Amino acid sequence: MPWKIMSAMDQKIRFIADWQSKSFSLTDLSQKYGISRPTVYKLIERYEQCGIEGLKEQSRAPKTCPHRTQDKVINLVVQEKLKNRKRGPRKIRAQLKRQHPDLELPAVSTISYWLKKEGLVEKRKKRLRVPPYTQPFCECEAPNDVWSIDYKGQFYMKNGLVCYPLTISDNLSRFLLGCKALKGPRYVSTRRYLELVFREYGLPDAIRTDNGTPFAGKSIGGLSRLSIWFIQLGIVPERIEKGCPEQNGRHERMHRTLKDDALDPIARNLKEQQKAFDIFRHDFNHNRPHESLNDQTPNEFYVRSNRPYVEQPYMPEYGYDYTVRNVRHGGEIKFKNRMFFVTELLAKQPVGLKEIADGIWQLKYSFYVLGSLDLRKNKIISY
């Protein structure tokens, strides 16, 4: 049998047979089987002690582990998790530390490991996202610098219909500006609710979203009808990167609290679910302390924006160094006697072009950079 297709056990048995025949020296056996002399001695010793069984693969796990978590601690962790299913490893460790101050507890990562091993951690579903936003995010140093908006995962109510919770929060103060139970993530219903929020709290400098409908689209610059409306109001539409929910971590964390407090149990219809959202929003803003706010509540930090909502925003204006073109009904512009497709969403809207390099023109809608127009390649490159 060719050596390369022999199993490891067959090789070891053939090795022992050659050794027992005494036709080969230890050096010859080492060279024939391509193993070191210490390995030769080890195989012979195992065979003499245990026979053929000694040639089988042995476990490489250490016989002792001084750092292994005690069974007593593991049982306490499991019991605490079973009492409070919604608590994570950090909260469980803090609770056990209060209950057993003299007990040496493992790290949070170790507790997380044992919870997963005991099957007490549910896997989260992955979400698909569109290409990311490439511009730098606005700094968040005061209320209304940046708001976050998102649709928390949809769910079925007891009447069999689907509810899509639309949530809006201020990133600095964590103040929950809105929480609305809607039938779907549609442009019209989203804009109507945002108008109510804008009238009550004013306008932010930027709004951060994910790449889903209706916040972003596949048009140039990731534009959608909603993001174009934001730009017309002077709001910078920001989008997090694909697979990076931590870029909107404060809002995502609020969603987890919303799920625990307002969706357990789920209501019968939209009207009852909205009542649950209103109660949660009041409690979140006025009664729930936040560690990041020095254990104070969001309403103690939030102040209304000094930028009022404008019912009819003005058309974008550009400086003297920009060449202005109106987007045609089909989404094209004519520039340098050539036609370039931008997007139908900007039909009848003015866009500005500014030369930034030889044959390269920056394309903007109001203050928002859409991409660059390359006259040499006769195409628009989206950012």
Structure confidence by residue, pLDDT tens digits, 235-282: 999 988 776 777 788 888 899 889 988 888 899 999 999 999 999 999
Instruction: Give alpha helix (H) positions in the chain.
Output: 8-21, 26-33, 37-50, 71-83, 89-99, 108-117, 187-201, 225-232, 249-262, 270-286
Rounded-to-integer distance, Cα 349 and Cα 221, Å:
15
Looking at every residue in the chain, the average pLDDT score rounds to: 87
Q: Which of 85-94, 159-168, 242-251 has the lowest mean pLDDT?
A: 242-251
Q: Which of 343, 345, 367 is nearest to 354 (CA)?
A: 367
The more confidently predicted of residues 211 and 61 is 211
Say if residue 230's pLDDT is above 90: yes
Q: Is the dihedral of CA 281, 286, 288, 291 positive or negative?
A: positive
Q: Which of 54-68, 144-158, 276-290, 352-366 has the lowest mean pLDDT?
A: 54-68
Using a pLDDT cut of 90, give the percent of the chain over it: 46
The more confidently predicted of residues 157 and 25 is 157
CA atoms within 13 A on the CB side of 97: 11
Sheet holding 368-374, edge to edge: 323-326, 350-357, 360-365, 368-374, 379-382
- 332 and 348 Cβ atoms separated by less than 8 Å: no
For residue 39, with 0-12 CB atoms within 10 Å meaning exposed, 13-18 middle and 19 or more buried, which class applies? middle
Rounded-to-integer distance, Cα 45 and Cα 55, Å:
10
Rounded-to-integer distance, Cα 310 and Cα 231, Å:
12
The rounded Cα 132 to chain-centroid distance in angstroms is 12
pTM tops 0.75, yes or no: no
Q: Which two tokens stand for residue 254?
A: 């609020």
- Return the CA Rg of the chain: 32
Report the pLDDT averaged over residues 157-167: 94
- 352 and 330 Cβ atoms separated by less than 8 Å: no
pLDDT at residue 126, as a whole number: 59
Instruction: Give alpha helix (H) positions in 269-337.
Output: 270-286
Say if residue 136's pLDDT is above 80: no
Residues 130, 136, 142, 144, Cα dihedral to 10°: -40
pLDDT at residue 264, as a whole number: 84
Q: Which two tokens stand for residue 113?
A: 């490991």
In this prediction, residue 372 has a pLDDT band, given cuts at 50, 70 and 90, of very high
pLDDT at residue 350, as a whole number: 96
Say if residue 129's pLDDT is above 70: no
- Which of the 8 DSSP states describes residue 281? H
Say if residue 117's pLDDT is above 90: no
Say if residue 289's pLDDT is above 90: no
Residue 214 preceded by cis peptide, ω within 30 = yes
Query: Which residues have CB under 8 Å from 276's CB, separation 6+?
Result: 262, 263, 267
Say if residue 140's pLDDT is above 50: yes
Q: Which of 104-118, 185-199, 268-282, 358-372 has the lowest mean pLDDT?
A: 104-118
Report the pLDDT averaged over residues 182-196: 95
* Greatest alpha-carbon span in the chain: 100
Say if residue 184's pLDDT is above 70: yes
Report the pLDDT averaged over residues 142-165: 93
Query: Which residues have CB under 8 Å from 74's CB, separation 6+?
Result: 114
pLDDT at residue 127, as a whole number: 52
pLDDT digits (tens, 9 = 90+) for 53-80: 777 777 777 777 777 788 888 888 888 8
